[in-house]
Amino acid sequence: MEAVLEKIEVLEQEFIVANRLGIHARVAAQIVKVAGQFESEIWIAKGGSKVSGKSILDVMTLVCPLGSKVQISAYGPDASEAVNALAVLFQTKFGEP
Amino acid sequence: MTEQCSKIIRGIGVSPGIAIGKAYLLERRRISISQHTLEDEKAVAEECKRFEAAVSKTEMELEDIKRRIHPGFTEHAQVLEVYQLILRDPPIHNETLRLILEEKLNAQLALVRSIRKAGERFSALDDEYIQSRIADLEAVGERVLRNLAGLEHNLLDEIKERVIIVAHDLSPADTAQLRLERTLGLVTDMGGRTSHTSIIARSLNIPAVVGTEVATKSVPHGAIIIVDGASGKVIANPTDEEVNLYHERKEEFENYLRAISRTAHFKARTQDGHLIDVEANIELQEEVVAAKDNGAEGIGLYRTEFFFMNRVDFPDEEALYNDYRELAELMAPKWVTMRTLDLGAEKLATWYPQIEEANPALGLRSIRLCLHYPDLFRTQLRAILRASDHAHNIRLMFPLVSGVGELLSAKKILREVKEELTRTRIPFDEKMPLGVMIEVPSAVAVADMLAREVDFFSIGTNDLIQYSIGIDRANEHVAYLYEPLHPAVLRFIRHTVAIGRRANIQVSLCGEMAGESLYTPILLGLQLTSLSMNPQAIPRVKNLICRSRAEDCRRFVAKVLRLRTADEIGRRLHTMMLEKFPEELRVFNPGILPNEEPPREDRSRTKRKLYS
């Protein structure tokens, strides 16, 4: 039990939504799919709200148009991998213009 | 004797043909939600299991539909992926389980509650896009509910006999599931000529009427109905006489179509030897098959905006390039005329900041919009240019050009894009012909000046009529003024053709007028030598061309151009058509037969829909 606890990492990074359409349903689907591959808890925050990165409805209700600043935080054994994987999505603009 | 009362519903005929059969109403088949409280722990555990089973089943069904989706509509497969995620999403899935466990609700009620709660979160947000996604939640919910109720999930699979499907709207998932052997015809409340359902119906030759607004409310489930996919008429509870009449029409239609289709692959030559080029207007690459089958000698108009409209995201250069290249290769060595984006500002609202316009028809649309967003325009031009290198059969066309200044601005961007490609050594067809659409009166007035800047003209009658007469064709109060036979419209066409001849550039006509066989003699008489139309109209128009003498048509047009009103010209035209091509009218345009003349108001309303 203790061994597991030791491994827990906490990571936070800020991203800017750079694709023209912002986080619409299909982009939210991409985020949730990637987040779902990790054991860590993943949270996405914007302004005053913070939602689970593993729920498509939550991510959509955050409403992130082009230019939104979002903070992604991960808590768990694979937190840094999770944040890195999500970083790739944001940096490649979800494969969109 | 009791007189049975039939009911006529009018919509937009989008796929010609006649279907007579039982109406199968998708809307009335909604599931009722049972509700009860669970008695004990055992019942609760059972209910959770039942819910999980229904979710798994739904997941498999969605996977299955995804595989069956028409290959041209891959973006719809992505919508289904969103559905799959919603299905397992904690606010739906876990919340439903919580309601079963804690509140002891039965699964159906628990699911309805959690979907409603999620929907409320969406509606609370001041965001139109997110609010519109409530439909996704409901679609997912309905599928699970169906499985919980032990119903066949697939409405269309339930249908055991050959029926006419009547639906509010058919989603891409529904259309993917359509059992064609069981579908006689389609009727929907929503939709237009270019909606997904219409295109599929046309390519599969299923008679279809869309945009009826009221069909699901007016047609009783199981009632006998007649669908006339040419005139857009739907008759519910027809009298015996009507049934007999339409049975005859159906047979006549099928025989006629068979006969004219046999000759559609030959070139269209008038009896006095004038060769007329007949091409197809298409919206999607998938329509190439229909275009070729119907004898198109090229693509006279590829409405590139459709590729942009039917998707959530914005296509990138690669996606566009692949689409254009494939289309060009499929049609080679025949010409493919690509019209750059012809979108209105309101249609781009999901991608760009919404612009409030008092009169969108006179607003930021089409080429104006492209010049306003040059990056978007460049992306499309790059994709077209790159695609042009493969078969050297692409022609480029700018829509809604209002004068030389605007054309030069567009040409400047085109030149820059070409230079950029040359610099980076990306090959393209340097001789790619460039044309403009003539659809604004100012363009007609300066046609001689435009002719010096381009290789061809294409007359777009839909807009030319709207702008010449100065009416908004979407405005029902003035829709009666939308008259293709208005003397001004005919003079504008004649003038443009004459200028084109003098400048020695090709002039074609690609508006809806080209595909209405009623106008074929007029267009021949106006000396057009190239017509582009929806693929299904090609055999009919070619047939009329081959049976006409260009010289006679010219004389006829010279005569009608002396008439002063569209009404007089129309009457003269009907008389001539009835004399020369009575069977064409009987089959495709029964509405104008003397014994069936509908009231005037009614006709203008149908007309408006036809052209909108």
pLDDT digits (tens, 9 = 90+) for B349-375: 556 666 677 787 888 899 999 999 899
Q: Using 50, 70 and 90 to split pLDDT, how confident is the model at B258?
A: confident
Q: What are phi and psi of A49, to 5 degrees?
A: -105, 150
Q: How many CB atoms lie within 10 A of CB B16?
A: 21
Question: Both tokens of residue B46?
Answer: 């059972």
Instruction: Provide the terminal-to-terminal Cα distance of chain A, rounded to the nearest Å.
Output: 46
- Report the pLDDT averaged over residues B63-91: 79
pLDDT of residue B593: 46
Pairing relationship of beta strands A69-76 and B7-10 according to DSSP bridges? unpaired
Instruction: Choose the closest CB to A21 out of B78, B82, B350.
Output: B350
Domains of chain B: 7-27+155-256 (3.50.30.10), 41-149 (1.10.274.10), 274-536 (3.20.20.60)
Q: What is the pLDDT of residues B174-200, one digit of tens each?
A: 666 666 667 899 999 887 765 667 767
Q: Using 50, 70 and 90 to split pLDDT, how confident is the model at B6?
A: confident
10 Å CB burial of residue B39 (0-12, 13-18, 19+) is exposed
pLDDT of residue B608: 33
Q: What is the pLDDT of residues A9-39, one digit of tens each?
A: 788 899 999 888 889 888 999 999 999 999 9
Distance between CA B230 and CA B247 in Å, rounded?
A: 15
Our answer to whether residue B370 is catalytic in this structure is no
Mean pLDDT of chain B: 86
Q: What is the pLDDT of residues A52-65, one digit of tens each?
A: 999 999 999 998 98
Q: What percent of chain A has pLDDT over 70?
A: 93
Question: In this structure, what is the dihedral angle of CA atoms B117, B118, B120, B122, given to the nearest 10 degrees?
Answer: 170
Least confident of B301-305, B355-359, B390-394, B414-418: B355-359
The catalytic position among B153, B196, B370, B553 is B196
Query: What DSSP element (H or E) covers B235?
Result: strand B233-236
Least confident of B33-37, B63-67, B114-118, B140-144: B33-37
Flag if B313 and A58 touch (Cβ within 8 Å). no
List the beta bridge partners of residue B61.
none
pLDDT of residue B528: 97
Flag if B118 and A57 touch (Cβ within 8 Å). yes
The pTM is what?
0.63
Contacts of B575 (CB under 8 A, 6+ apart): none
pLDDT of residue B395: 98
Flag if B313 and A21 touch (Cβ within 8 Å). yes
Does the pLDDT of residue B606 top 50, yes or no? no
DSSP alpha helix (H) spans, B392-446: 404-423, 441-445
List the beta bridge partners of residue B209.
B13, B187
Does the pLDDT of residue B37 top 50, yes or no? yes
pLDDT of residue B277: 97
Question: Both tokens of residue B82?
Answer: 């969103």
Pairing relationship of beta strands B183-188 and A41-46 according to DSSP bridges? unpaired
Q: What percent of chain B has pLDDT over 90?
A: 54
pLDDT of residue B30: 55
- Report the pLDDT averaged over residues B8-15: 88
Our answer to whether residue B196 is catalytic in this structure is yes
pLDDT of residue B154: 53
Q: Do B299 and B279 touch, CB atoms closer than 8 A? A: yes
pLDDT of residue B596: 39
pLDDT of residue B602: 34
List the beta bridge partners of residue B269.
B275
Question: Both tokens of residue A18?
Answer: 């750079």
Q: Which residues of chain A approach chain B closer than 8 Å at the C-beta?
A: 19-21, 24-29, 32-33, 52, 54-58, 60-61, 63, 96-97
Distance between CA B144 and CA B146 in Å, rounded?
A: 5
Instruction: Provide the terminal-to-terminal Cα distance of chain B, rounded to the nearest Å.
Output: 43
Does the pLDDT of residue B1 top 50, yes or no? no
Query: What DSSP element (H or E) covers B20?
Result: strand B18-25
What is the SS3 assignment for B548?
coil
Question: Both tokens of residue B206?
Answer: 């299923």
CA distances from B398 to A65, B7, B44, B302, B435 (A): 31, 45, 65, 12, 6
- Report the pLDDT averaged over residues B231-257: 91
pLDDT of residue B599: 34
pLDDT of residue B349: 52
pLDDT of residue A7: 64
Q: Do B270 and B545 touch, CB atoms closer than 8 A? A: yes
Contacts of B579 (CB under 8 A, 6+ apart): none
Domains of chain A: 22-95 (3.30.1340.10)
Question: Which of A60, A94, A96 to mutate: most B Cβ within 10 Å?
Answer: A60
Pairing relationship of beta strands A69-76 and A41-46 according to DSSP bridges? antiparallel
Contacts of A93 (CB under 8 A, 6+ apart): A18, A19
> Among candidates B163, B159, B203, which has minimal Cα distance to B177?
B159
Q: Using 50, 70 and 90 to split pLDDT, how confident is the model at B507?
A: very high
Q: What is the pLDDT of residues B291-319, one digit of tens each?
A: 998 999 999 999 998 787 656 567 889 99
Question: Both tokens of residue B49?
Answer: 């299991």
Q: Do B411 and B434 touch, CB atoms closer than 8 A? A: yes
Q: With a cut of 0.90, is the ipTM above it?
A: no
> Among candidates B509, B511, B497, which has minimal Cα distance to B463?
B511
pLDDT of residue B598: 38
10 Å CB burial of residue A79 (0-12, 13-18, 19+) is buried
List the beta bridge partners of residue B474.
none
Least confident of A70-79, B241-250, B355-364, B587-596: B587-596
pLDDT of residue B181: 62
Residues of B314-328 as b/e, b for ≥16 C-beta within 10 angstroms?
bbeeebbbebbbebb
Does the pLDDT of residue B603 top 80, yes or no? no
Instruction: Choose the closest CB to A56 out of B78, B85, B379.
Output: B85
* Alpha carbon of residue B165 to chain centroid: 19
Flag if A57 and B91 touch (Cβ within 8 Å). yes
pLDDT of residue B313: 64
Distance of residue A91 Cα from the nearest chain B Cα, in angstroms: 16
Question: Both tokens of residue B41?
Answer: 């722990």
Distance between CA B611 and CA B514 in Å, rounded?
A: 12
What positions of A carry a catalytic annotation?
Answer: 24
Instruction: Choose the closest CB to A97 out of B82, B129, B314.
Output: B314
pLDDT of residue A2: 47
What is the SS3 assignment for A88?
helix
- Is the preceding peptide bond at B333 cis, omega within 30 degrees of 0? yes
Token pair 């359509």 is found at B178
Does the pLDDT of residue B529 top 50, yes or no? yes
